[in-house]
Amino acid sequence: MARRTRDMGTEGGEAAEEAEWVAALRSGDEASYVALMQRFGPRLLSLARSILGNEAEAQDCVQEAFIQAFKKVGGFEGRSPLWPWVRRIAVNACLGRIRARHRQAEATLEAWQPEFDADGCRLGLEPRQLPAADELLASDRVRAAVRAAVRALPEIHRTVLILRDFEELSTGEVAELLGLEPGAIRVRLHRARAALKKQLEPAFGGKGM
């Protein structure tokens, strides 16, 4: 795998190293600022771009997040690793943008939910054979379809899906980050997952991809 940086927290010996780094950040050492931006910047840009669906806005948000982080670093106690702390600031910056935007209609999401008949029986035909994940991921078209399907979700649903399923935060952590109840996160998560699945059906059924 080209990049496996999902958990950018620290373990064991790295903790001492990070404590030194935090001390340098708190003392306002610019080299430590640059190091932090270079270490976390690419991952944050990728995350912000996934949430916002827009490169320029992602850069603005990450820039804003770093500025906020350095202004607040005096209050960072270093009890938790730097990465989740910086990520939280960046996600909040993204959410600020999203709230400022015109609220997106959720009609399309509705169209991607599973359907049932009057007796509660599932409608729609699932393929009998499902291609393996590796086989699907070998196709550039499928990978592009996955990205497009996530991008097509309403922003709040997309954000919940990315944080919960791709960044692998807990439901509680996502709820806290987004200022919503865990129950509200679960509803959005399920609808986002169902919409992702619905949009990927052509890839699974072997029709057109």
Partner 1 sequence: MASADRSLGPMITCREFEDFLGDYLEGRLAWGARWRFRLHMWMCPECRRYLRSFRRSLELGRRVFAEPDESVPSEVPPELLRAVLAAVRTPDDGDT
Please check whether residue 81 is in contact with residue 110, taking contact to mean a CB–CB distance below 8 angstroms: no
Residue nearest to Zn ion (CB): 122
Output the CA torsion sign for 195, 197, 203, 205. negative
Q: How buried is 194 (Cβ within 10 angstroms: 0-12 exposed, 13-18 middle, 19+ buried)?
A: middle
Nearer to partner 1, 76 or 204 (CB): 204
CA-based nearest residue to 148, from 201, 188, 191, 199: 199
Considering only 15-23, 92-100, 173-181, 193-201, which stretch makes contact with partner 1 by CB under 8 A? 193-201
Residue 139 sits in the site that holds partner 1 (CB under 8 A) = no
Residue 146 sits in the site that holds partner 1 (CB under 8 A) = yes
Residue 11 beta carbon to partner 1: minimum distance, rounded to whole angstroms: 19
Residue 174 beta carbon to partner 1: minimum distance, rounded to whole angstroms: 12
| Alpha-carbon distance values, 199 to 90, 108, 113, 147, 169 (Å) | 28, 11, 10, 11, 24
Question: From CA 142, how far away is CA 156, in angstroms rounded?
Answer: 24
Q: Could you give the angle at the alpha carbon of 106 between the alpha carbons of 103 and 112, nearest 5°?
A: 155
Nearer to partner 1, 46 or 104 (CB): 46
Q: How buried is 129 (Cβ within 10 angstroms: 0-12 exposed, 13-18 middle, 19+ buried)?
A: exposed
Residue 206 sits in the site that holds partner 1 (CB under 8 A) = no
Residue 16 beta carbon to partner 1: minimum distance, rounded to whole angstroms: 26
Residue 38 sits in the site that holds partner 1 (CB under 8 A) = yes
Find the binding residues for partner 1 in span 171-190 (CB under 8 A).
171, 186, 189-190
Residue 155 beta carbon to partner 1: minimum distance, rounded to whole angstroms: 16
Show contacts of 110-119: CB within 8 Å, 24+ apart. Answer: 112/194, 112/195, 112/198, 112/199, 113/191, 113/194, 113/195, 113/198, 114/194, 114/198
Residue 125 beta carbon to Zn ion: minimum distance, rounded to whole angstroms: 13
Contacts with partner 1 by CB under 8 A lie at 1-4, 6, 30, 33-34, 37-38, 41-42, 45-46, 49-50, 55, 58-59, 62-63, 66-67, 70-71, 114, 116, 119-122, 124-128, 130, 133, 136-137, 142-143, 146-147, 149-150, 161-162, 165-166, 171, 186, 189-190, 193-194, 196-197, 200-201, 204
